[in-house]
Amino acid sequence: MKISKAIFYLIILISFLLQTACNQAVQNDRNVEKNISVTDFRGKEINLSKPATRIVCLIESALSGLYMLNAENRIMGIPSAVYNESAAAQYAVLDQRISDKKLSSPGNWDFLSMEKLVALQPDLVIIWASQQESIEAIEEKGIPVYGVFLRSFDDIYKEIDDLGKLTETSPRADSIIGFTKHEVAGINLKLPAKKQKSVYFMWSQGLLETSGTSSTANELIELAGAKNACQEPQEHIVINLENLLQWNPDVIVMWNQYPKNPDDILNMAELQNVNAVMHNNVYELPPVFWCDLWTLKFQFAAKHLVNYCAADNSEKFNLDLEKEKMIFALYGEKGEELIK
């Protein structure tokens, strides 16, 4: 037989073998007893036969939620960013395994090592709902995936409530949600439109990166009794400097963006006619661990905003006390070490 014919038949044979292998491998959908059932942010029902005990959490904010729920013993994998980012020191306090760098990290939410993830034998993976391809690949291996997509503070409550159900820590979830709602009720300022200050929220990517009206940043600003300078509908938006000059915000709030600080903004020649710069109202929120807008700690960021926007520059909240109260309520015993 000629080599060309041999190769032709070989390709046909490979096709047949691949089809057989794929068919066998793909038919691994498991029938799960529906003892625990929640609907994630994709609208997909997640069914577990028993509470999750081996969780790989690839979202830093959800990881924070798991520690608040005292479910740290169920965490088997974390995002690699936790080891590198500014919050590493706080997580090292919360979990000795992170301090010893012994808690596995199969990657971040987007670039993950599927092999490392499977080797952790998780019974639940928490990942951003927008990571379609990764979710498909994980679910194909029979591992349940809880997809997260946060657009509002109500979404954060839902996430914590769901995680409570999935980890059998619902009473704790109810407790910390209740605490947060109580604190939020104490903040919620309803000021007449005329008295509302306009706030420009500046993300860490740079001066011109902000959030529009369908965002947690917008909700935060409104919670503090102010109005968002950016009234565009987008969640994230890169604006033109002319927009910023035209909006002329009363306050500029910077997301924590070391090594930049408010002085950098105050010294920008092109911003010298902006109200916020003229009146020295440029502030930087504390590091992300203390006021992450995608966790129940958003309340602390809101309290900062209330102080930033106070009409007479008087501080409505004693932020040190508020921080202690929140950390003790959300992290329990470990709170004291965290505060130190």
The footprint of other proteins (CB under 8 A) covers: 4, 7-8, 11, 14-15, 18-19, 21-23, 25-26, 80, 105-116, 118-119, 121, 128-134, 136-137, 140-141, 203, 205, 234-236, 238
DSSP state of 166: H
- Please identify, using beta-carbon distances, which residue of 191 and 237 lies nearer to other proteins: 237
DSSP state of 110: S
Tokens of 280: 């020295």
- Please identify, using beta-carbon distances, which residue of 99 and 214 lies nearer to other proteins: 214
Cα–Cα distance between 53 and 56 in angstroms, integer? 10
CB of 18 to other proteins, least distance (A): 5
CB of 110 to other proteins, least distance (A): 5
- Please identify, using beta-carbon distances, which residue of 271 and 285 lies nearer to other proteins: 285
Cα–Cα distance between 194 and 209 in angstroms, integer? 26
Cα–Cα distance between 290 and 106 in angstroms, integer? 25
CB of 80 to other proteins, least distance (A): 6
- Please identify, using beta-carbon distances, which residue of 133 and 312 lies nearer to other proteins: 133
Q: Which residues contact 226 (CB under 8 A, 6 or more apart)?
A: 191, 196, 197, 198, 199, 251, 305, 309
Give the amino acid at 132: Q
- Beta strand 45-48 with 36-39 is antiparallel
- Please identify, using beta-carbon distances, which residue of 106 and 249 lies nearer to other proteins: 106
DSSP track, 129-160: TT-HHHHHHHHHTT--EEEE---SHHHHHHHH
CB of 134 to other proteins, least distance (A): 6
- Please identify, using beta-carbon distances, which residue of 153 and 308 lies nearer to other proteins: 153
CB of 121 to other proteins, least distance (A): 6
SS3 content of the chain, % helix, strand, coil (to 5): 50, 15, 40
CB of 209 to other proteins, least distance (A): 8
Are 118 and 107 contacting, i.e. CB atoms less than 8 angstroms apart?
Answer: no
